[in-house]
Amino acid sequence: MRIFIGIPISDEIREGIAKISENFDIDGIKLVNPQNLHWTVKFFGDINKETVNEIKEMMDRIELNSFDIDIGGIGVFPSLSYIRTIWVGVLGEEKIFMNFLIELNEKFKKYGKENRHRIKPHLTIGRVKFIKDKEKLIKLVKMFERKYIGKMKINKISLFESILTKNGPKYTTLKEVVLK
């Protein structure tokens, strides 16, 4: 089973991101289906059912507080000179969210793949396969780099199964934990 822990987003945020994403509907960019938008906390990769059950049990023992974040701003990975991923992030103080993600990653570090990248809260909205007009894309990123989308309460985490299909991934919620 291909598994990850993520944080679902509200319909209001989903709609706001979908409106901005329309601007990036450019030849060579594969946009993420708005229904698939989520904050990834920890990607485990392919793991067996026994390990999935262990992760579910660990999730039951999580005691973390909910908090609010301001969502917005377009960014890219790895850089503007070589764009592979387009994302929406957190505006203002993202330290609380980063600490939350680091703490959760630490709790589940013995499972799945190790995160080799610095944790950066982001919602992937598109993947760049190729780009004919790089300057146009850079201009769009800069135009939306501080665009406010809305406020969201981080109040639950979910364990998702990801099934890859020819039409993109399909996510199924296996477990949900509500935060304090």
Burial 30-67, CB ≥16 within 10 A → b, else e: ebbebeebbbbbbbbeebeeebbeebeebbeebeeeee
CA distance 13 to 106: 28
C-alpha closest to that of 91 among 40, 141, 149, 154: 149
Q: Say which of 38, 59, 69, 149 is annotated catalytic.
A: 38
CA distance 173 to 124: 19
C-alpha closest to that of 141 among 92, 82, 69, 95: 82
Residue 38 a catalytic site member:
yes
Residue 117 a catalytic site member:
no
DSSP 10: -
CA distance 19 to 38: 16
Q: Say which of 39, 52, 122, 177 is annotated catalytic.
A: 122
Catalytic residues: 38, 122
